[in-house]
Amino acid sequence: MTSLRTFAAASVFAIASFAMAPAAFAGDPVIDAAIDAGQVGETIDGLLGVVGTADPTVVRKVNEINNRRAAKYAEVAAQTGTTPAQVARLTGEKQIEKLDAGEFYMDETGVWKRK
């Protein structure tokens, strides 16, 4: 029961942290355009992914954002006594829920799907 409470507290903290830290998320015009074009999507593990192939600039931006996200996940996990993977998974689920119709996400099996 204690681990469930810890995870619940971490979940709330993670969501609040990302609401206050948009730099860990896209918000980049190159990424926004790639998402609109179906070249980039969210993954269940809280990272951005390239759908098929993309321009090297897009790939570089995806990697930069993913590095910031991974650092934030580690920070939140350290503060809440959870793992970066748990924080990333929760964030990935929330990001996928927020996608607009037509945007891509990668499911648990590694398959890209359009919302």
Domain count, the chain: 1
Residue-range definition of the domain harbouring residue 17: 2-114
The answer to whether the Cα torsion of 23, 68, 65, 14 is positive or negative is: negative
For the stretch 10-67, pLDDT in tens is 555 555 455 444 445 557 999 999 999 999 999 999 999 999 999 999 999 999 999 9
pTM value is 0.80
E strand spans, 8-96: 40-43, 48-50
